[in-house]
Structure 1
Amino acid sequence: MPKMIQLAHSPDADDIFMYFAIKFGWVDTKDYEFTNIGLDIETLNVEAMKGTYDVSAISFGMYPLIKEEYALLRTAVSFGEGYGPKLIRRKDKKLKRNFKVALSGKYTTNAMLFRIYYPDARPVYMDFLEIEEAVVSGKVDAGVLIHESILDFDESLEVEKEIWDIWVELAGKDLPLPLGGMAIRRSLPLNRAIDIENILIDGVKVANEKKEELCAKLEKDNLVRISSDMLKKYLDMYASDESVELSQLQLKALDTLYKIGFEHGLWDTPIKTEDYLIPKEYKALRNS
């Protein structure tokens, strides 16, 4: 009897890419059967706070709020390297201190960094697919674009500030910008959590190894919102060999993110990321 695991991810191209090698049967899932749920990242953040899904994509910036209920996984991670979400405005618009801004969700990493940097701005939260039009139409003064929308937006708009530049100013170091990853419910037995993490690691590895084939299949089956050329460009940014397993540099970046959040009063205690991962010592002992 297969063990059913709910795996929730966003409909964003890099999430789909990193999961669908499993969906297409290219990875040995042992005695597990994964049911995938596709929801926008802010909905996933909110559902994670309710403990809804066994495994879920989340924004790194909200993880401290669920650290007691979920462990962080080492795989399917997205970081920016000199790029990331963009604060955009109309070219004919000058922003005041208390400008009205559209954000993709209260708990996203970009919203965390934005609110620290622009404390007087007035956020309005909406689906990320609606942000560009809200700025073009003047419903808001500016908006933060995420996902594929950073690659191509209306010619009447221009970038006011890169979230990458905010990150560099706040972090004080040249570290990759942590954006999103995966979390697993702590109520699952540890041996099961280890199995699931390893299966997901294999899935991201296989996806990268078969990138051309997988991209063609995703586009053919209408599983992504963008064309093949733009898909490859986007995946090179957010779903690559750097997404397979957290590196020491990425861990340092996460520790820095959580230090910034602690110093700005977003959570009560400092957090060291390594303490919230599935312990590798147990994996080694189990496999010895």
Structure 2
Amino acid sequence: MVTIRIGALADSGDLYPFIPLIEGKIKPEGFNLEFEIIPTVQEVNEAVLKKDVDVSVPSVAMYPFIQDDYFILSNAVATATDGITGMPILGVKEMNEDEIKKSRLIVHGQNTTAFTLYRLLMGKYGKLVIIRRVLDEIKALGKEGDVLVAVHEIKMMFALKKLGIKVVRLGSMWDMWKSISNNTPMPMGMVVISKDLGKELAFKFKEVYEKSKKYAEKHLDEIIPKDVEIMRESQKADLDEEIVRKTIWADIEEYNVPVDQVRKGLEFFYKITEEKGILPRVKSIDLI
């Protein structure tokens, strides 16, 4: 029997659809699942690039580099349609655009969508600071870096408040994106599955993933304690259950955008990043 290797990203919003599968609440038929929890999105990006996993949750910006090896699950593309999770730029003091472009910029990694959007929408920065873990980013703001692109605003703001760090919201990727895209949905992350498994098995996995996602959304009180447990262990931090719940609620919206809008966002993202010389050309968006 085929075993599908899943690299689940240890981020509450991306993790919740997998938890019913991890816990055995939803069981696949005809194939086995093997899970590995991957702590950061940059490590996920590296894992899919090396084909170390069959299924994972890389950045949308990673797809041009893995397009020959992975399908995209059409029911699993995290897509922003408003400013709630629209990647704000945060700093510890008021700064104008010129000052931001000379700042030390904190991001998760060079292959992330957050950094790609910054390059597309802001362009310049003084020094790039790579800090892979979300909560480590917070501690570095004002010390190692002047500004950061917050991938999860709710989680970030809650953690900053808890640490007593005051920040200024300097701008938002979403606000800039919607102005150049005519309000096109903004893609951020995606679940991909290896083409080596074949399209038939990929579709079977997609169906099981959808069942797991829907189960999680209907049974959040069951799912959240496990989500918190995994997050605390992988992030080496004492995460608050309240913020995990709020993060998941925000991401449920992202993971349930209609597929025609998902495709529209992906097409615009890859078209404009290729035109600007930021990402390689995407030959075909292989949504299944």
Using the size of structure 2 for normalisation, the TM-score is: 0.85
Q: Which residue of 2 aligns with 1:24?
A: 23
Asked whether the 8 Å contact 2:150–2:156 carries over to 1, the reply is yes
Asked if the contact 1:75/1:204 (under 8 Å) is kept, the reply is no
CA displacement 1:235-273 (0-9 Å, x = unmatched): 121124x52575211211111111111111134435553
Matched, 1:156 2:166: yes
| Residue 79 of structure 2 corresponds to residue 85 of structure 1 | no
Gap change, CA 1:30 and 1:238, over 3 Å in 2? same
Distance across 1 between alignment mates of 2:74 and 2:197: 17
- Answer yes or no: is 1:146 the counterpart of 2:151: yes
Q: What are the superposed Cα offsets for residues 85-138 of structure 1, whole Å, 9 maximum, x if unpaired? A: 22111126662532210111111111101012232213221113221221132x
Contact 2:94–2:170, Cα closer than 8 Å, also in 1: no
Q: Which moved more, 1:104-113 or 1:187-196?
A: 187-196
Task: Give the match's secondary structure for 1:223.
Answer: helix
Match of 2:128 in 1: 123
1:223 aligns with 2:225: no
Contact 1:113 1:166 in 2 (8 A): no
**CA shift for structure 1 position 227:** 2.9
1:194 Cα shift? 1.6
What is the deviation of 1:233? Answer: 1.8
Superposition CA RMSD, Å: 2.2
Matches within 5 A, 1:24-43: 24-39=23-38, 40-43=40-43
Residues 155 and 243, structure 2, Cα contact 8 Å, conserved in 1: no
Q: Alignment length, in residue pairs?
A: 270
What is the identity, as a one-letter code, of the residue corresponding to 1:164?
Answer: W
Give the AA of the match of 1:72: I
Shift of 1:217: 4.7
Percent identity of equivalent pairs? 21
Question: Aligned with 2:169: secondary structure?
Answer: strand
Tell me, in whole angstroms, the C-alpha distance in 2 between the residues paired with 1:66 and 1:146. Answer: 22
User: Which letter maps to 1:88?
Assistant: L
Distance 1:245-1:22 versus aligned 2 partners, 3 A rule: farther
Q: Secondary structure at the match of 2:196?
A: coil
**Cα separation, partners in 2 of 1:86 and 1:244, compared to 1, 3 Å:** closer
Consecutive unaligned residues of structure 2, counting only runs of 5 or more, are: 233-238
Following superposition, the deviation at residue 80 of structure 1 comes to 2.0
| Other-structure match for 1:53 | 53
CA distance in 1 between partners of 2:188 and 2:196 (Å): 25
Structure 1: how far apart are the matches of 2:136 and 2:76? 26
Cα distance in 2 for residues equivalent to 1:3 and 1:178: 31
Q: Deviations over 1:27-71 (max 9, x none)?
A: 130032211112111111112111111111111122111101111
Give the equivalent residue in structure 2 for 1:183: 192
**Alignment CA distance shift 1:37-1:251 (3 Å):** same
Indicate if the aligned counterparts of 1:73 and 1:182 stay in contact, CA closer than 8 A: yes
Equivalent AA in structure 2 for residue 107 of structure 1: N
Once residues 168 and 24 of structure 2 are traced to their aligned partners in structure 1, the CA distance between those partners, rounded to angstroms, is: 42
TM-superposed deviation, 1:144: 1.5
For residues 134-190 of structure 1, give each alpha carbon's deviation from its aligned partner in whole angstroms, at most 9, with x where no partner exists: 1132x222112223533422542111111211221332x112221111111111122
Whether the aligned pair in 2 keeps the contact of 1:259 and 1:271 (CA below 8 Å) is no
Contact 2:75 2:259 in 1 (8 A): no
Secondary structure of 1:77's match? strand
Aligned letter for 1:28?
K
Counterpart position of 2:72? 72
Q: Is the 8 A contact 1:100 1:140 kept in 2?
A: yes
3-state SS in 2 of match to 1:265: coil
Give TM-score, length-normalised by structure 1. 0.85
Alignment of 1:114 onto 2:113: no
Match of 2:281 in 1: 269
After the TM superposition, which of the residue ranges 176-185 and 71-80 deviates more from structure 2? 71-80
Aligned residue for 2:211? 202
5+ long unaligned stretches in structure 1: 279-288
2:142 aligned to 130, 133, 136, which one?
136
Contact 2:61 2:279 in 1 (8 A): no
